[in-house]
């Protein structure tokens, strides 16, 4: 079969596939609302896989730091406490335990993962998250993928090298109306202060 024939066959195949597109709507308005609500600005992307996927591994986490709600904010829904686990490249390969501190091997071009799970699902509240690397006390937007699940769990994954010289990562979690826009998240990260509607989670970084 010559190239033109293959291309022609490909075109016919796609046209045939498309013939089924008049089917009734597969996803309803509620699904559209869920999808739209998770498309927050910046790099907040929802979990493709439900957070349940991560439930079992997280239950095995060796160390868990619990952020307990102590105060109530005036804006947005009240958030539960968050438990955080941080995983460096070695731990992601199953070689070391997960920790609340992120351990990065020097010079290693690996990946990291941070998961923050709410003590209870945030129910109907729309939650967004921003991740920052702290360098000399100043927050810088972290170049990493940020996922937020329907239940309010946050997962951040990225390349370790992009953390740069940061000594700490801070994750700002809360309802958009409580955090405000990016600048609001930046201010929160800098101050490090949490309240009932916005959580600032801190992950210290260790290096070899």
Partner 1 sequence: MDDKEIVERALSGDAVATRRLVDRVLPVVSARIARLLSRRKSRAGRDARQEVEDIAQEVFASLFEDGGRVLRAWDPARGLSLPSFCGLVAEREACSILRSGRRSPWSADPTEEADLEKGLGVEPGFEARVETREQLELLVDRVREALSPLGLEMFERLIVREESVESVCKDTKMSADAVYAWKSRIGKIVREIVRKENLVA
Residues that bind partner 1 (CB under 8 A): 1-3, 5-11, 13-15, 17-18, 20-21, 23, 25-27, 29, 31-41, 43, 45-46, 48-50, 181
Choose between 23 and 68: whose C-beta lies nearer to partner 1. 23
Choose between 50 and 72: whose C-beta lies nearer to partner 1. 50
Choose between 48 and 106: whose C-beta lies nearer to partner 1. 48
User: Residue 194 and residue 105: Cα distance in Å, rounded?
Assistant: 30
CB of 81 to partner 1, least distance (A): 26
**DSSP at 95:** S
CB of 132 to partner 1, least distance (A): 18
What are the φ/ψ torsions at residue 191 (nearest 5 degrees)?
A: -75, -30
User: Residue 119 and residue 65: Cα distance in Å, rounded?
Assistant: 11
Which of 108, 100, 112, 125 lies closest to 178 in space, CA to CA? 125
CB of 52 to partner 1, least distance (A): 11
User: Residue 151 and residue 129: Cα distance in Å, rounded?
Assistant: 13
Choose between 147 and 195: whose C-beta lies nearer to partner 1. 147
User: Residue 124 and residue 174: Cα distance in Å, rounded?
Assistant: 13
CB of 187 to partner 1, least distance (A): 17
């Amino acid at each position: 079969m010559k190239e033109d024939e293959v291309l022609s066959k490909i075109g016919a195949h796609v046209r045939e596939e498309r013939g089924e597109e008049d089917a009734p709507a597969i996803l309803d308005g509620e699904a559209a609302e869920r999808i739209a609500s998770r498309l927050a600005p910046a790099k907040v992307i929802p979990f493709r896989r439900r957070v349940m996927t991560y439930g079992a591994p997280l239950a095995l986490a060796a160390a868990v730091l619990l952020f307990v709600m102590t105060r109530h904010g005036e804006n947005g829904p009240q958030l539960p406490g968050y438990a955080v686990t941080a995983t460096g490249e070695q731990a992601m390969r199953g070689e070391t335990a997960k920790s609340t501190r992120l351990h990065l091997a020097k010079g290693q071009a690996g990946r990291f993962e941070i998961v923050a799970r709410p003590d209870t699902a945030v129910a109907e509240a729309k939650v967004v998250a921003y991740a920052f690397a702290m360098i000399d006390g100043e927050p810088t937007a972290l170049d990493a993928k940020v996922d937020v699940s329907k239940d309010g769990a946050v997962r951040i994954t990225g390349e370790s090298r992009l953390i740069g010289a940061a000594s700490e990562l801070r994750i700002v979690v809360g309802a958009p109306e409580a955090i405000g826009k990016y600048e609001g998240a930046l201010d929160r990260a800098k101050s490090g202060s949490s309240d009932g509607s916005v959580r600032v989670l801190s992950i210290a970084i260790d290096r070899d």
